[in-house]
A and B are shown apart, each in its own frame.
Chain A
Amino acid sequence: MQNSSYCKNSLDWGRPNVAVISKQSQEPGQSSAAPDALESVGPASAAEAVKQIHSRPNVAILIILGGIVALILGIGVSVTFGARDIRFEEVWLAVFQYNPDLTDHQVIQELRLPRVLGCVLVGSSFAVAGAILQGMMRNPLADSGLLGLNSGAGFALAVCFAFFPGMSYSYLVLVCFIGAALSAMFVFALGSIAKGGLTPIRLVLAGAALSALLTALSEGIALHFRIGQDLAFWYAGGVAGTRWFHLKVMFPWILAAIAGAIVLSRSITLLSLGEDVAKGLGLRSGFTKFMGTVIVIVLAGSAVSAVGAVSFVGLLVPHFARKLVGVDYRWIIPTSAVLGAVLVVLADLAARTVRPGFETPIGALIALIGVPFFLYLANKERREL
């Protein structure tokens, strides 16, 4: 085995063969016995396929590190600026030596800090969910709205506003999450029980149809009870209501889901080459899709329920990340997580400073900033997905 590929290698001194050899020398067990070698055709050629995909790991590492620095700076600035004028030393003390008797410290600890951390969580959740979906579906239109998540949350919200007015914020968040998760599961189940199994196109269509249905029902409820404007405001995205309590509930789930996404990222790269190719390379595509969907439900569901549909983040950031680091999802997913968090933190900062005292909906702001940017990216050169 070693010999033959060495011969081939000397005849044709190309990079892919080097990659195969280095792969085999790393895992010596695979190249020894004949049956093992047969089995190793799958993973080895898969690795080759991934190698040939255009990606830029060094750029990615740079962007992730730079993004984290920018994120920390952004958090600092965001905590310092606000309607109430607080000096930076005071902010520092409030964070690291909290004194509950001072109003300034309370503002920082109870209002601004949870808010900005909420932005971080929500931003990376939407971005990673969008990246996973775009890779799995091979559709540049894909974002978390696609699985019916946004409309499910919106419908749950409309029902709550119409029939249980005055419900507390914490319950609203919970109900929204249940609405989002149920509708996404319904879409996934519908896509799976059909003959021929779960195909991206079927999932997309089922999601679009269910979304249209739920949106229509919410619209009907909103028109009948005249609550459309309230709904629109909530739906347009607001992080103002985030408290430590929500963060404590959301944090472990989102962290686990993002970790899961990174573990899954190699399979997602294979899926993004197309279902047949992925299967040919030995991927259990059904399992990958199921896990991907679960991760998306957890991420986007909790984010939607916490702040409303800031879905443009999920659409924009993965495209941007792909442009920067290439089409390997092992790099796209972490890059998206960092960039998504930076984007939402900055957008929230802008939303509070554009017109002090008046909350501009963050979703609208992100779309307004993001659109020109997105247009620029989409038109610059040939796209690759």
Chain B
Amino acid sequence: MGEYIRLKSPEELAKRKRNIIVLFILSAAIILAFMASMNTGFIRLTPLDLVRTLFGEGTAQQNLILYEFRLPRIVISILIGAGLALSGCVLQSISRNALADAGIIGINSGAGFMILMYVAFFPTITAASAFVLPVLAWVGGGVAALLVFAMSYRRHRGLSSNRLILNGIALNSGISAATIVITLRISPDQYQFVATWMAGSIWGKDWKFVWALLPFICILLPYVYLKSQTVNVLSLGDSLAKNLGAAVSREQLLLLGAAVGLAGSCVAVSGSIGFVGLIAPHLAKRLVGQRYQILLPTTVLTGSLLVLVADTLGRWVFQPSEIPTGIVVAVIGAPYFLYLLVRSKG
């Protein structure tokens, strides 16, 4: 942990070089996945057509497919992956708990509950719901997270991460119990709709959703990155961080706010893709180590890659029907994660 105090040794330089290579490989993989994803669907396009269309020389049909159907969805996948992974990373570091992610402070269950309520009490799913649902999900997730905050905050002692987690679990269990009680009363079709949403299928496939999501990502992503030194210090634990001179409870609140903003807006657009926030930081940690200056960008890239690949596979494997992205993320992410876990030492 004391890496940034020492002078740079040859090994450290080698490590830095290796980290840069890791970032480079991840970016290249995202570009490859991007190309593959562009080409996945009912109508196939050759890479040449793809390049031509991207440079504005495609036919009307090709333009329509790429710019109106596939591109927004791909962009959304990348943004969601980045947002969820980053919020997971920040939450794990602040709460100092390896199991933390946006789900733990109630965002997923709060959002899911609002969707369920809407479906149960307004049984007809109209065109309007395409915009009502994300808003409701955002409100639900935000309210749940705020509740957990409010319960965990003490005026003189600030935010206790342990209490945050315990309150989060309690709220999550309460919400999911309420969810089950309501679930048993709705019709099978309604249930199917809610279950698909909860399993995390990318709901917004439109440029409008990209524009809605972009401001959050564009502001909060650089903000968290600029704070990476603070995250480093906070991850050492409250008392040590205080001794190092960090304004612990203020920084914690700010970072938590950023994490909630990121995760909430992502969940609103995507449904609850839970596993990314948990797994991407761990994957990144195994790739580049604990230093947040390099860990945060790696986490972002890992998350984007994971969601993009999962979404592409989900559209491709059982064409023409789709598998919810959240399921695919878990199915490809978990085995790789287990493999890394077995290989790594300590």
Residues of chain A touching chain B, judged by Cβ–Cβ distance below 8 Å, are 139-141, 190-191, 193-196, 199, 201-202, 204-206, 208-210, 212-213, 215-217, 219-220, 222-223, 226, 228-229, 232-233, 236, 312, 315, 319, 360-361, 363-368, 370-371, 374-375, 378-379, 383
Output the nearest chain A residue to B199 by Cβ-Cβ distance: A219
Are A213 and B330 CB-contacts (below 8 A) given A190-B342, A370-B173?
yes
Q: How far is the CA of A216 from the CA of B163 in the complex (A)?
A: 29
Output the nearest chain A residue to B189 by Cβ-Cβ distance: A226
Q: How far is the CA of A191 from the CA of B173 in the complex (A)?
A: 27
Q: How far is the CA of A63 from the CA of B170 in the complex (A)?
A: 24
> Contact: A139 with B177, CB < 8 Å?
no
Partner of B177, one of A194, A220, A371, A383: A371
Residues of chain B touching chain A, judged by Cβ–Cβ distance below 8 Å, are 97-99, 151-152, 162-163, 165-167, 169-171, 173-174, 176-178, 180-181, 183-184, 188, 191-192, 195-196, 199, 274-275, 278-279, 282, 323-324, 326-331, 333-335, 337-338, 341-346
A226 to chain B, nearest CB (A): 6
> Contact: A371 with B174, CB < 8 Å?
yes
> Contact: B334 with A212, CB < 8 Å?
yes
A223 to chain B, nearest CB (A): 6
> Contact: B184 with A383, CB < 8 Å?
no
> Contact: B173 with A371, CB < 8 Å?
yes
Q: How far is the CA of A164 from the CA of B135 in the complex (A)?
A: 41
A314 to chain B, nearest CB (A): 11
Output the nearest chain B residue to A368 by Cβ-Cβ distance: B177
> Contact: B191 with A210, CB < 8 Å?
no
Q: How far is the CA of A190 from the CA of B343 in the complex (A)?
A: 10
Known contacts A378-B170, A379-B163; 19 additional CB pairs below 8 A are A194-B344, A201-B98, A205-B98, A205-B99, A208-B99, A209-B333, A212-B275, A213-B330, A217-B327, A223-B199, A229-B183, A232-B183, A315-B169, A361-B180, A366-B177, A368-B181, A371-B171, A378-B163, A378-B167
Looking at chain B's contact residues, the main secondary structure is helix
* B195 neighbours in A (Cβ, 8 Å): 219, 222-223, 228
B203 to chain A, nearest CB (A): 15
B141 to chain A, nearest CB (A): 18
Q: How far is the CA of A140 from the CA of B170 in the complex (A)?
A: 12
> Contact: B334 with A375, CB < 8 Å?
no
* B328 neighbours in A (Cβ, 8 Å): 216
* A202 neighbours in B (Cβ, 8 Å): 341
Q: How far is the CA of A82 from the CA of B199 in the complex (A)?
A: 38
* A219 neighbours in B (Cβ, 8 Å): 195, 199, 324, 326-327
* B99 neighbours in A (Cβ, 8 Å): 139, 141, 204-205, 208
* A232 neighbours in B (Cβ, 8 Å): 180, 183-184
Partner of A140, one of B162, B324, B330, B342: B162
Output the nearest chain A residue to B190 by Cβ-Cβ distance: A229
* B152 neighbours in A (Cβ, 8 Å): 379
Partner of B165, one of A141, A190, A361, A367: A141
> Contact: A363 with B170, CB < 8 Å?
no
* B174 neighbours in A (Cβ, 8 Å): 367-368, 371
Partner of B275, one of A139, A191, A216: A216
* B343 neighbours in A (Cβ, 8 Å): 194-195
Q: How far is the CA of A374 from the CA of B151 in the complex (A)?
A: 12
Q: How far is the CA of A357 from the CA of B171 in the complex (A)?
A: 29
* A204 neighbours in B (Cβ, 8 Å): 98-99
B143 to chain A, nearest CB (A): 16
> Contact: B166 with A212, CB < 8 Å?
no
Output the nearest chain B residue to A216 by Cβ-Cβ distance: B330
* B341 neighbours in A (Cβ, 8 Å): 190-191, 194, 202, 205-206, 209
Q: How far is the CA of A160 from the CA of B309 in the complex (A)?
A: 30
29 A-B pairs with C-beta separation under 8 A: A139-B99, A140-B166, A190-B338, A194-B341, A195-B343, A195-B344, A196-B345, A196-B346, A199-B346, A206-B341, A209-B337, A212-B330, A213-B331, A213-B335, A216-B327, A216-B328, A216-B330, A216-B331, A217-B327, A219-B327, A236-B180, A312-B173, A361-B184, A364-B177, A370-B173, A371-B170, A371-B171, A379-B151, A379-B163
* B275 neighbours in A (Cβ, 8 Å): 212, 216
Q: How far is the CA of A97 from the CA of B169 in the complex (A)?
A: 47
> Contact: A213 with B342, CB < 8 Å?
no
Task: Give the 10 A-B residue pairs with the shortest CB-CB distance, closest first.
Answer: A216-B330, A367-B177, A213-B334, A371-B174, A195-B345, A378-B166, A364-B177, A196-B346, A196-B345, A216-B327
> Contact: B342 with A364, CB < 8 Å?
no
Q: How far is the CA of A206 from the CA of B279 in the complex (A)?
A: 11
* B346 neighbours in A (Cβ, 8 Å): 195-196, 199
Output the nearest chain A residue to B328 by Cβ-Cβ distance: A216
> Contact: A205 with B282, CB < 8 Å?
yes
* B171 neighbours in A (Cβ, 8 Å): 371, 375
